[in-house]
Structure 1
Amino acid sequence: MCRKPVGEGAKRVTTERGSVVIWWSLAGNGVRTRLRGVAQPGEPRQTTGRGVAAADTGGLPAKDDLRLLRAFAARYNRCGASPPAARNARMSTAFRDDAGSLPFRPAGAAAWLRDCLLAERDRWPLWLPVLLGLGVAGYFWSPWEPPPWLGAAAALVLLAGFPALRHRGGLRLLLLGSLAVALGLAAAQLRSAVVAAPVLERSWGPAILTAEALASEPQSRGWRLYLRPIEMPGLAPEALPDRLRVTVAGLDSPPEPGSRLTLRAALRPPSPPALPGAFDFARQAYFQGLGGVGFAYGAPRLLAPPETAGGGVWHAWRLWWSDLRQTVTTRIAAQLDGPRGAVAIALITGQRGGIPDAVQAEMRDAGLAHLLAISGLHMGLVAGLLFFFLRAGLALLPGAALYHPIKKWAAVAAAAGAFVYLNLVGASIPAERAFLMVLVVLLAVLLDRRALSLRLVAWAAAVILLLAPESLMTASFQMSFAAVTALIAAYETWQRRRDNYRERYGPLRRLGRYFLGVAATSVIAILATGPFAAFHFQRMALYGLPANLLAVPLTAFWIMPWAVLAVLLMPFGLEGLALVPMGWGIDLLLANAAAVADWPAAVLPVPPMPDWGLGVMVVAGLWLCLWQRPWRWAAVPLLVIGALSPLGFEPPSLLVSGDGRQVGLRDPEARLWVPSQRGSRFVLDTWTRHGFVAQTLTWPQLGAAAKGRLSCDPLGCLYRDGPVSAAILLDPRAAEDDCAAAQVVVSLEPLRRQPCSGPVAVIDRFDLWGAGAHAVWLDPQGPRVQSVAGQQGARPWSPFPQRRSAWKSGEAQ
C-alpha cells in the first residue's frame, strides 16, 4: 500500500462535488492544487491563475471547486504560514453558507481571526482544560458561594441546546466552549460538597485526645502524625473532624498506621491567610480533610495494635501504603543520616519534612527545589529505568527476544512500577499528572504509536481538573503544567531538526548536544515557571541554569537509578548496597546547591504580582504554546505587560495579624517596624515577602524612628504618612487621645466599651477575630482597609462567617 499516493506533504480535501488534492510547496511558493486524475507533482502541467494547476476535471464543476480551493489556500496564507506537511485534513460543506457561496470574505480583522482559527482547528482540543480551568477559577475567585445547582444546571441547559444548533458550526463551537466552562464550575462545586467535613471552630485543649494513626511524616525534630479522632472531650461525635495533624517533638519512632493511641495535645483550626491575598492554608486544609492542627505534649501511648482497627477497603488500602511508606522511611534513615538521608527519603517516599530548613533554602535559592518535589522528572526516570533495564535484560534471552514482544512486556512492567511509585510518594498532584502522562506514553508503546504531544498534557490536565479541581489554585499544579507545556511546545517546534542532528552527528557531538538540551530545557522551564514563582513566592533564582547543568544529569544518571535499585533490594535487606552510593550523589547535589546559593545576588526579590498580571501571562503563555502558526507571536506584548505588572505594586502601610499579637508599619524606605521580632516567624516572613520589605526593625519603646514618621511611648505608637496618620494602641487607656489625633486606630485590645468614633477606620480585637488579618493603605485621599474575610468571601473553608454569626447571636465567648 502506497503511503504517499499523491506526493510528499499532500493533503486531500473532500467536498460534496468530488475529491481534490492540495500539495504544499515546501519551498515557500504558496499553495498549488490539482483535481483528481491530474499528473503527479513534478510532471509537466499548465497553470491558470496564480499557483493553480489546470487539469482535466473529468466532468466535475472545476470552476467552483477551484474557487473553493483558492479560498482554502487563502485561509492559510492570511495566517502567515502553510500547514504542516503529511497531515490529513478534510474540508466539509461547513465551509459554505446556505446559499452555496464561500464564507471567506475580503480581508478584515474578523475574517483574519476566523481564518486563523480554522487553520488551527486540529489544536482546538488543547483548549479544553483551559476552559475547564476557567470554570474552576471562577468558582474559587467568587466572593460568595454559588448555588450548589448552578454549574450542573448550566451544563444541562447548554447540552440541551446542541440539537438546535446542529447546522450552525460557529455557534455550536461557542456552545461547546461554554459547556466546558460550566463543567469546570460543576466539578469544583461537587468537589467542595464531597470533601465537606467538620472543622474546629476554636482552639481545643490541652486535653487528652484518643485517635487512630493514619500516617506519619518525619520532621527535623520529631514526627508529624495524621490522626483520625475517636474521642475529644467537649466535642460531640458528629463535630469531630475527619483528620487532625499533630506534631510530636522528640519522638523516635512513629506509631504504626491503624493503631489506636492517646496523647495530650493542643489543637486549633487551620489558619487563614496571614494577610489579604497571601497563601490560604484554611482552603488547602479544607480540601485535604484536615479539621485541626496542633502539637502534642509528650509521646503518644498505644491503646490497640493495627489489627483491631477497622474501616473498610479504601481505608485499609490507604493504611497499607502508609505503613509501607513508613517502613521504607525507617529503612532509609537507618542507612543514611543527616541531610543526605532526609533528601533520600524525599526522593523515594515524597516526604520532605525531615529536610533541614537551611538545606531547603539552599536548594530553593539555587533553583533546584524542583528536584525535591516528586514530578515528571522522577516519575519518568523511574518508569524509564525499569523499561530500559527490563527490555535490555530480556534482549539477552534469544528465545524471548526473537519470539515475544519484549518491548511491550517492559512497558507493562514499567507502568506497574510507576503505579507503585505513585502510591509510595502519596499521590500528590504533580505525581498524579506525571503518572497519567507516563501511563499514556507506555500505552502508546503497547499500541505501537507515538504519544509525546500536547494532547497528552491536555488530557492529563483535564482529568486532574475534573477529579481534584482545587489543585488549579496550587503552585505545584501551575508550575508543573507550565513547565511541561512549554517544554513539549518547544519539542514540537524543534523535533524535525533534532532528528536530523541525531542522524548526522557522532556520539561525542550528540553528548555535547545532550548538555545543550539540558541547558535549553532549564531555560525554558525557568521562563515558564518564573511568573508563578514571582506570584506565589515573590522571589526568583537567578543561577538556576548553571546549577541544573550539574544537578539534572547527576539526578538522572546516578541518584535515581540507585534509588530504584534500593527499593528493589529492600525485600532482601540489601538496600544498603544502593543507598550508600546514592548518598554520595546526594552529597554532591547538596554541595552544588550550597555553592550556587552562596553566589552574589543568587535570589532576586520581586514585588508581588497582581492577579490580573498573572492572568494575562497565563493566557499569553497558552496562546504562544498551544497555537503553531505565526499569529501566536501576538502573545509577546501581553507577556511583556504581565511581566511588568509588579511595577505597579503599592505596598500596604499597616499590617495587623489575625490573632492580634503582631502589628507592623512599613515606611517608604521599605523597612518594616514591629514591636517585637519574637512573634510568629511565618507571619513575619509572609509580611516581608508580600510587603516587599528590605529590612525588619523593632520600633523604639520611647522616642522617634523612621525619620520622624514614627513616635512611640509605653501606651502605643503614632505613625504619620503625609496628611494621614495611624495610631497603634498597646494600652486601651490611650484610646481617647489617639482617636482624636489619627485617621486609623488599631487596638490589640477590645474597644467596644470605649467608643472611638473620630477616626475613619478602627480595628480592634473584635474586628481581628471576626475578619482576620488586616492591611491598611494610608492614601492621601483617605485610608483603605482590606481584611482576610473580605478577600475570602463567604466560602465553606472560611471561619469568619460562622464567627460573625455567633457574635451577632450572642453565642461567642
Structure 2
Amino acid sequence: MSLEGDCTSSTPSKWEALNVAARRGWELVLQPFLAERERWPLWLPVLCGIGIAVYFASAVEIGLPALIIAFLAVVSLAFGLRKNTNALIPLMVVGALLAGFGAASIRSQIVAAPLLERPLSMALVSGLVAHVEPLEQDGARVILERLSFENRTLQSVPQRIRLRLPPKSPTIVPGDRIRLYASLMPPTGPVIPGGFDFARQAWFQKLGAIGYGMGQVEILDGTDADVDAGFVDGLAKSIARLRLHITKRIQTELPGDSGAVASALITGGERAISKPLLEAYRDSGLAHLLSVSGLHMSLVAGLVFVGLRALLALIGPLALNYPIKKWTAVGAALATLFYLFLSGAFVPTQRSFLMTGIVLLGVVLDRQAISMRLVAWAALAILLTQPESLTGASFQMSFAAVLALVAVYEIAQAPVSDWRRQKGGWWRGVILYVALLALSSLVASFATAPFSAHHFNRFNPYGLASNMLAVPLSGMLVMPAALASVLLMPLGLERLALIPMGWGVDMINAIAYETASWPGAGLAVPSFSPSGFAALVGGGLWLLLMRKAWRYLGVLGICFGISTAIFARLPDLLVDGGNGLAAIRLEDGRVLMTPGKQEPITRQAWQRYLAIDGEAEVIADGAAGGRVRCDSLGCRLSLKDVALALTYRPEALPEDCASADLLLAPFSLPKGACQRPTVIDRRQGLGKGPHAIWLEQGKILRIETVKEKRGHHPWAPEKRKRTKPDEEYPETKNAPERQDLEMDAESFAKPNR
C-alpha cells in the first residue's frame, strides 16, 4: 500500500515539475521579445509577407470562406485571451499570417479575368488603347481593352491583351480604338522550375494574352472613348496621353539614348533605351537610376520644398506671420503626387511616394518622420493592396535598401548632428556630404546585392565606385533640370532645361559604359536555394529590426543564405520537352545546349540560371572534347555514368531505348515504346513544363518540374498549349519567334521595376 501511495503521490509532482520547467523556458524565450515591445509593429508587414509567400508557394487554392472562418476564430480567441500575454502573442502572429494569405487570395480573385484558351494566328482584333509604351528604334507596345475578335469566335474574350505593334505603325495615343491582325498566345509560365512566372504577373495585370501585330494598323473613327468611360478610366487615359506627349517632346529635343534615359527619369518608360546601354547600367550597378524610386522622388520633393520656401520667404508678411514651412511641405507633397502619376506609378514609385508623403506630413505635424515605423506602414499598405508585389525584385530591393538606410540613420543620427553643430570651415560640410554619400551608396549596394544576385544572377563589384560618380550628377544636374523642363514645357521652353539635362545623362551613360567594361563587372552567379534565400532575408530583417544585442544573430542567417549560393548544386540537365530544348551541365561547369535559335528567352534564362558568361557550347558531334556522339537521328553522351540519349527522330527509338538511362525527345513517344530509360518527351513537356534534373554517379537523383512548383492556381493551366498556325491561315507558319511577343519578364529585365 505504501508503494502504491508513493507512486500516486509522485506522479503529479513530476508533471508539475515539467509544467513549471516548460513555463520557465517559455518565459526565458518570451523575455527578450517583451524587451523589444516597441519594435513589434515593425514585424507586422513581415508576418503578412510570410503569409503572402505561403499563398504563392502553396500547391492548391484554399477557399475564401475557410480563410475568413479561420481569421475570425483567431481574432475571437485573441480578444478572449487579451490579458494572457503567453497566449496572445502566438495568436497575433497567426492572425497576421492569415491576413497576408487572405489578402493574396482575395486579390487573385478580384483581378480574375478570362485567359486566351489557345494560341491564335491572324486574328483580326479591334480594341481600345489603354496604354502605349515606346520601344527602341521607333517601335511601340500597347495594351488593348474592350476587345472584339472579328474573324474568331471565342468562348471567353480576354479583358486586356498586350501587343507589339508592327514596324512603321501610325502614331497611337491612349483612347484611340485600333484594328489590326495579330498573333496571340496565352501568357507563358516559368522556363525553370521555381523561376519567374510571367503568367502570374500577367494575371494580376488582367492580361489575357500577349502577342504581336501584323500588317497595317487601322485607327477607327470615333476613338475618343473617354465619353463612355468612367471618371477614373477617363482620368487614367488622360494621364497616359500626357505621359506619351511629354515623352515625345523629350525625345524630340534629345534623340537617341540621351532622350530615352531622360524620358525614363520623367515619365518612367525604359523600353526606348538601347539594349547595350541597359546592360551597361545593370553591370555597373546603376540600374536603380533608371527607375523612378526613392532617390528621384526625394529629390523632387526636396527641390520643390526648398524652392517654394525660398520664394515665400521673400514675401516678408507671409514669412513673419504664417507657417510657410508647412505650406511648402504641402506643395512638395502635391508635386510628388503629380510625379507619381506622370512616371507611371510603378511599385518603387508608390513606395517612395508613400514614404515621402509621410515625411512631409511629419513636417506639417511637427513630428520626426524618418523611422522604421514609416517604412513598416508603407510596406504594409503595399502588401495588403498589391500582395503580388512581394514576389517581385523591385519590391524586395527597394525595401531592402530603405530598411538598411533607415537602420543606419537611427545609429548615425546623433553623431552626424554633433558634427554639424561643431564650428568649422566650409570644408566640414563638403567632408560630411562626401562621407554620407559614400555611406549611403555602400549601405544600399550591400543591401540590394543579394537580391540582384538571386533574381538576375549578376553581382556588381563596382557598384560603389559607379554610384559615387553618378549619384551626385543625378542629384545636382539631371533631376533639377528634369523638374525645370516639366515646368517650362507649357511655355514651349523645355529645351533650355533639357539640353543641360542631356549633358548630365550623357556623363552618367559614359560612367555606366566605363565601369561595365572593367574586369569582373556583371559577374555571373547562381541563385540562392529557397531555404537559403529565406534565411538570408530573415537574418537581414532580424539584424535591422531588432535593437538588442541578439540582433546580431541575424548574421548567421545571412551567412547561411550566402553559403547556399556559393555551394549551390545546380541541375545537371534542363529540359523543355514541349519545345525540344535541352541544356547539359558538364562536370567541369561547361554547358551544352541544343542547336538552333528557337526560344531565345528560355536560352538566355537558362544561361543566367546556370551562371555562365557568354554563349553555351552547341550539342553536336565531337562536342565536350569528343564525349558527344551525334548522327542524323540524335546524340548520345555519358554524364556522371548516366547514359543520356537525345533522340531527334522516331527511327532511333529501338536502339536508344535499349541503351539509354535517360531519353529526351522533342516528339511524343507511343505509350510503352520505351521500358528501360526514364523518358521526357513532348507529351511530358506540354503536361509538366520544363524539367530540372540532378544526377548522381550512375543514377537520376531527382527531377523537378514547373508544374509541381507552380501548384494549382488560376494563372497556371493544367496543360500547356503550343502555338500552331490555324489551318485556314498556313502563311503564318513563318511567324516571328517568341521573343517578338516581348514577354519582358521581370527576372529577365530590369531589377528596378
- Residues 136 and 272 in structure 2, CA contact (< 8 A), matched pair in contact too: yes
Which of 470, 479, 491 is the aligned partner of 1:560? 479
- Residues 617 and 643 in structure 1, CA contact (< 8 A), matched pair in contact too: yes
Residue 415 (structure 1) shift? 0.9
- Residues 541 and 602 in structure 1, CA contact (< 8 A), matched pair in contact too: yes
Choose between structure 1 and 2 for higher RCO, CA contacts under 8 A separated by at least 6 residues. Answer: 2
- Residues 595 and 619 in structure 2, CA contact (< 8 A), matched pair in contact too: no
Which of 287, 304, 310 is the aligned partner of 1:392? 310
Letter in 2 for 1:736: P
Partner of 1:752: helix, strand, or coil?
Answer: coil
Does 2:73 match 1:157? Answer: yes
In 2, Cα distance between equivalents of 1:540 and 1:722: 30
In 1, Cα distance between equivalents of 2:331 and 2:350: 18
- Residues 592 and 619 in structure 2, CA contact (< 8 A), matched pair in contact too: no
- Residues 383 and 414 in structure 1, CA contact (< 8 A), matched pair in contact too: yes
Could you list the runs of 5+ residues in structure 2 that have no partner in the other structure? 1-19, 723-753
Could you list the runs of 5+ residues in structure 1 that have no partner in the other structure? 1-103, 805-813
In 2, Cα distance between equivalents of 1:489 and 1:294: 45
Partner of 1:144: helix, strand, or coil?
Answer: coil
Q: Percent identity?
A: 41
In 2, Cα distance between equivalents of 1:439 and 1:401: 23
In 2, Cα distance between equivalents of 1:198 and 1:254: 29
**Range with greater deviation from structure 2 (448-457 or 220-229):** 220-229
Equivalent position of 1:787 in the other structure: 705
Residue 201 (structure 1) shift? 2.1
Quick one: structure 1 residues 560 and 153, their matched pair in 2 at CA, closer, same or farther if it must change by over 3 Å?
Answer: same
- Residues 661 and 679 in structure 1, CA contact (< 8 A), matched pair in contact too: no
Q: How do residues 338-353 of structure 1 correspond to structure 2 at under 5 angstroms?
A: 338-353=256-271
The superposition leaves residues 115-157 of structure 1 with CA deviations (integer Å, 9 ceiling, x where unpaired) of 3222211111111100111111110111222223333222111
Residue 327 (structure 1) shift? 0.8
Aligned residues: 699
Letter in 2 for 1:242: Q
Partner of 1:146: helix, strand, or coil?
Answer: coil
Which of 255, 280, 283 is the aligned partner of 2:200? 283
The superposition leaves residues 520-546 of structure 1 with CA deviations (integer Å, 9 ceiling, x where unpaired) of 111111111121111111111000111
Partner of 1:459: helix, strand, or coil?
Answer: helix
In 1, Cα distance between equivalents of 2:93 and 2:24: 24
Residue 109 (structure 1) shift? 6.9
**Range with greater deviation from structure 2 (289-298 or 492-501):** 289-298
Q: How do residues 136-147 of structure 1 correspond to structure 2 at under 5 angstroms?
A: 136-147=52-63
- Residues 715 and 734 in structure 1, CA contact (< 8 A), matched pair in contact too: yes
In 1, Cα distance between equivalents of 2:22 and 2:115: 62
Does 2:412 match 1:498? Answer: no
Which of 613, 620, 623 is the aligned partner of 1:705? 623
Equivalent position of 1:762 in the other structure: 679
The superposition leaves residues 580-627 of structure 1 with CA deviations (integer Å, 9 ceiling, x where unpaired) of 110000000001111111111122221221011110011111111111
- Residues 285 and 462 in structure 2, CA contact (< 8 A), matched pair in contact too: yes
In 1, Cα distance between equivalents of 2:675 and 2:613: 35
Quick one: structure 1 residues 697 and 159, their matched pair in 2 at CA, closer, same or farther if it must change by over 3 Å?
Answer: closer
Residue 772 (structure 1) shift? 1.5
Does 2:539 match 1:623? Answer: no
Residue 709 (structure 1) shift? 3.1
Q: Which runs of 4+ in 1 moved over 6 A?
A: 104-109
Answer with 1 or 2: which has the greater Rg.
1
Partner of 1:800: helix, strand, or coil?
Answer: coil
Quick one: structure 1 residues 305 and 557, their matched pair in 2 at CA, closer, same or farther if it must change by over 3 Å?
Answer: farther
**Range with greater deviation from structure 2 (466-475 or 647-656):** 647-656
**Range with greater deviation from structure 2 (362-371 or 141-150):** 141-150
Equivalent position of 2:230 in the other structure: 312
Partner of 2:224: helix, strand, or coil?
Answer: helix
The superposition leaves residues 323-363 of structure 1 with CA deviations (integer Å, 9 ceiling, x where unpaired) of 11111111111111000000011100110000111001001
Which of 390, 403, 415 is the aligned partner of 1:472? 390
Letter in 2 for 1:608: S
Partner of 2:527: helix, strand, or coil?
Answer: coil
Does 2:566 match 1:647? Answer: yes
Residue 308 (structure 1) shift? 4.5
Partner of 1:150: helix, strand, or coil?
Answer: helix
- Residues 273 and 279 in structure 1, CA contact (< 8 A), matched pair in contact too: yes
Does 2:187 match 1:270? Answer: yes
- Residues 675 and 699 in structure 1, CA contact (< 8 A), matched pair in contact too: yes
Does 2:387 match 1:462? Answer: no
Quick one: structure 1 residues 557 and 777, their matched pair in 2 at CA, closer, same or farther if it must change by over 3 Å?
Answer: same
- Residues 248 and 299 in structure 1, CA contact (< 8 A), matched pair in contact too: no
Does 2:497 match 1:581? Answer: no
Residue 558 (structure 1) shift? 0.7
- Residues 229 and 244 in structure 1, CA contact (< 8 A), matched pair in contact too: no
Which of 129, 134, 146 is the aligned partner of 2:45? 129
In 2, Cα distance between equivalents of 1:138 and 1:526: 28
- Residues 340 and 587 in structure 1, CA contact (< 8 A), matched pair in contact too: yes
Residue 265 (structure 1) shift? 1.0
Equivalent position of 1:539 in the other structure: 458
Letter in 2 for 1:683: T
Equivalent position of 2:556 in the other structure: 637
For the aligned residue pairs, the C-alpha RMSD in angstroms reads: 2.1
Equivalent position of 1:52 in the other structure: none
Q: How do residues 796-807 of structure 1 correspond to structure 2 at under 5 angstroms?
A: 796-800=714-718
In 1, Cα distance between equivalents of 2:353 and 2:555: 32
Q: How do residues 390-789 of structure 1 correspond to structure 2 at under 5 angstroms?
A: 390-504=308-422, 505-657=424-576, 659-694=578-613, 696-699=615-618, 701=620, 703-752=621-670, 755-759=673-677, 761-780=678-697, 782-783=699-700, 784-789=702-707
Q: How do residues 25-40 of structure 1 correspond to structure 2 at under 5 angstroms?
A: none
**Range with greater deviation from structure 2 (469-478 or 526-535):** 526-535
Please state which structure has a larger fraction of its residues in helix.
2
The superposition leaves residues 465-507 of structure 1 with CA deviations (integer Å, 9 ceiling, x where unpaired) of 1000000000000000010001100100111111001111443
The superposition leaves residues 18-77 of structure 1 with CA deviations (integer Å, 9 ceiling, x where unpaired) of xxxxxxxxxxxxxxxxxxxxxxxxxxxxxxxxxxxxxxxxxxxxxxxxxxxxxxxxxxxx
In 2, Cα distance between equivalents of 1:732 and 1:135: 48
Does 2:128 match 1:209? Answer: no
